[in-house]
Structure 1
Amino acid sequence: MNKYTVPIILVALVVAFAGVGYIGLGGTGNPIFSWQDEPIIRISPGSDESEHVEYPSVYSLGEARGLLYSAYGDDQRWRIKLAVAQTGHNFVRQGNIFDESKLPFKGAYAFPFVNVSSRNGKAVFNLYFSAADGDEPSRYTAVYHAFSDNGLSWSAPEKLLADNALDPVVVTSNGKALIVYSSVINGTNVIRSAVLLTANTAQDIRTVYSAPSGFYTMGAVTIDNKPVLILETEKNWIALCFNASGDLTQVSTSPLLEFEKGTGILWDRLKYGMYFHEASSPPAFYYNGIAGHGVPVGGQIGIGTYDPHALASKLDMAGCK
């Protein structure tokens, strides 16, 4: 199964794929991105994390760092886990973030994204993720929201919106907070957005991008005070921004990252599921790595750095609003 040309909501079948220490970053020859040679979160045999650990979202916990990620293992179900690093990127697994006996759905849940805001001078952590809350346990049908005052313990999740939604990302564009996610409509890969009136209220779902070729995951960075989405296609990473009409348009003048061809022992020949942690010094990105398209097991989480100036030099943002 090719994740780019079939409804990507069937992710749980997984036959398609389903920090501050930077010593030893691999030399890639890419002027924008550099990454370490080894994963920072690995699969764990004989557990519910035995086949894939993917889709990281990272946030600061004072001097420490929290990482939410999706895991898929022996019981063949996607669920969200927490890891915490007191220093650097030495993340220690903390287990599930929810009491699964109390969840309002029985299916898979994955693709966490944490947005940190402030309330009365204190941080509030808002979590958005995809969930299968219908009759099919592997078909993602909604985005859910939960919140936390400490980034460690989370409220019971509540439905934010109903849609075939994957990989939600929250950005601010033209003064509005938007939740943006990938989906499939009539066999076409699309990106949809909705306005966040509050952290747990969304409206005005609309399609803002579609393409004849396939794409899957995305991450968000800020360039010239504007949100830029880095989109993983079948062969590379490209960049998109919002135009005056509120639609997404491609702004990368050439691919930002091209996947290595061939087969071999590289655990991260294919890089996807990227999350950009702009507050890091130097700026960091976390990502999923796997040996290639169609590899059934082995998705793991890696870390790298990126150069915002080199990234900006590859973009034509004249039409971005």
Structure 2
Amino acid sequence: MIQPSASGALARPQTLYESRLTDADSGTQLTTETLAQRLSGTDVIIIGEYHGHQAAHLLQSQIQAALFEKQPFQVLSMEQFNLDHQAAVDAYLNGETGETEMIEDSHAWDNYRASYRPLMEFARQHSLPVIAANAPADIVRCVGRTGPDYLDGLTAGHRAQLPDNPFMDTPAYREKFNDAINTSHGAADETMQERLDNTYKAQLLRDNTMASRILAALNAHPGHQVIHTTGTFHSEEHLGTVALLRQRAPEISIAVISPVVWPADVEKAPLQENRNKGDFLYFIQPLPEEFLDKQRERKAMSARFRRPVQETCEGDTP
């Protein structure tokens, strides 16, 4: 672990594995041990990530271990597993299956071994619960395609897995979502607007489900601290899952830790313009650009979404 500089000034991360953890208000650089001391009494700690950025995943693992030293009654909650695969996660934690079996049975993300294995193994070694927090992928996909009424066709059992009021919202999150996809609030094309609305409802279903699962974990494990890993869009600026947690349970304490990219051509850490992203920030190097050829990028995006488009949403989710 790299220690803060003597001057207290933030030093640029030197590798793609490094991060600089800071207090968002003061700009003071922190160690994971200091962070854990400050957060030992917090109910829910949400660590945002840029998916696939190894500095984020390394820091998540370090924070998990540091928090455990201060508060060993811990639950790990993960966006990266869907709730309909909870049994597969539990079977692995209970020693009933091997890792590859768990990966196959839970439809784990492709980068599980490189990015999330350390979190899961720490929980398994210390007999800690792991919560598959996300909504079922098929249901999310069909809400995004056909709209929120899709839930009306689910069996009672499938619907019961999802939270009450699954599309609870906040205006600021909708505005952020619109900005992210470069659209306006008053799109002229009604068909396109409907598609965007459905996509947003699918996003809300994920966030509401994760909030509900975190609260269920707190209720099932009194006195435990929940660490939740998620894409930063779901938690930064205290929106998304965080805002919904506060709406559903205003009495709980929540801390948000968010990543901030420190561009190579920027001399000082971009702290001021990013203070609102979380209670704590960690600065990381930017990842290499995936594509310079825009035509190849469009082809790759088309291929990525081709399979979901071909899948049907008729009938109930299996």
TM-score range, shorter chain: under 0.3
Q: Is the radius of gyration larger for structure 1 or structure 2?
A: 2
In proportion to residue count, which structure has more strand?
1
Which structure carries more relative contact order (alpha carbon 8 Å, separation 6+)?
A: 2
